[in-house]
């Protein structure tokens, strides 16, 4: 859902607005300054968390199942899932308080999206790596991909790095969601 809304908003902003991934953040797709239809990305921000909830819950259940024998890993998986829930909740408010309504509230909401997401990824990634739940590619990307890109983003605030943070998330999130759905289908057959 998020990818579809983002792609539609991006194409419209490129064709009809004043937008560049090199000079504008993803949030600026929700501004009348850059696109004639900011409602597309703002609605996407508000609706996507409901769909992401299924992914995070499925990931949590899978990780927790493998970590159930270890009290600390089990507790960490619960904490990681809680961070994903906080991120999801804040994501809704990113769309409600878009950059045109209040840049300050919007920025606070985006911080509550990115920080829990990054720490949730690190926690889940470490458990996945230790317990060998998925191919090592995924947890390594979850742990080191966002840490490295996010450090550069928070220091430089270059909008293109926000896009790279998003693509790093897609590099592990989309394949893992497919794997989780396939596993679910296989267990039902």
User: What global pTM score does this model have?
Assistant: 0.89
> Can you give the residue range of the structural domain that contains 41?
2-188
What is the count of structural domains for the chain? 1
pLDDT tens digits, 105-114? 999 999 999 8
Question: Which residues contact residue 41 at a Cβ distance below 8 angstroms, ignoring those fewer than 6 apart?
Answer: 5, 6, 9, 26, 29, 30, 35, 95
Average pLDDT over residues 2-24: 93
Report percent pLDDT > 70 for the chain: 99
pLDDT tens digits, 81-100? 999 999 999 999 999 999 99
pLDDT tens digits, 119-170? 999 999 999 999 999 999 999 999 988 788 877 777 777 888 888 888 888 9
Question: Which residues contact residue 94 at a Cβ distance below 8 angstroms, ignoring those fewer than 6 apart?
Answer: 27, 45, 106, 109, 110, 113
């Amino acid at each position: 859902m998020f990818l579809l809304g983002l792609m539609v908003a991006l194409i419209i902003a490129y064709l009809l607005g004043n937008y560049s991934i090199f000079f504008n953040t993803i949030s600026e797709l929700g501004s009348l300054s850059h696109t004639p239809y900011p409602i597309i990305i703002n609605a996407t921000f508000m609706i996507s968390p409901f769909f992401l909830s299924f992914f995070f819950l499925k990931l949590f259940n899978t990780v927790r199942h493998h970590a159930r024998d270890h009290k600390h890993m089990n507790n960490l998986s619960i904490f990681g899932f809680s961070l994903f829930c906080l991120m999801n909740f804040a994501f809704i408010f990113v769309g409600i308080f878009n950059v045109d309504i209040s840049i300050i509230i919007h920025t606070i909401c985006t911080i509550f999206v990115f920080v829990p997401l990054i720490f949730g990824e690190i926690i889940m990634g470490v458990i996945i790596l230790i317990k060998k739940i998925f191919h090592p590619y995924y947890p390594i990307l979850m742990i080191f991909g966002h840490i490295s890109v996010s450090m550069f983003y928070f220091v430089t605030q270059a909008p293109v790095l926000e896009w790279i943070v998003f693509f790093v998330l897609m590099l592990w999130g989309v394949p893992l969601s497919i794997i989780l759905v396939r596993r679910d289908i296989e267990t039902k057959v």
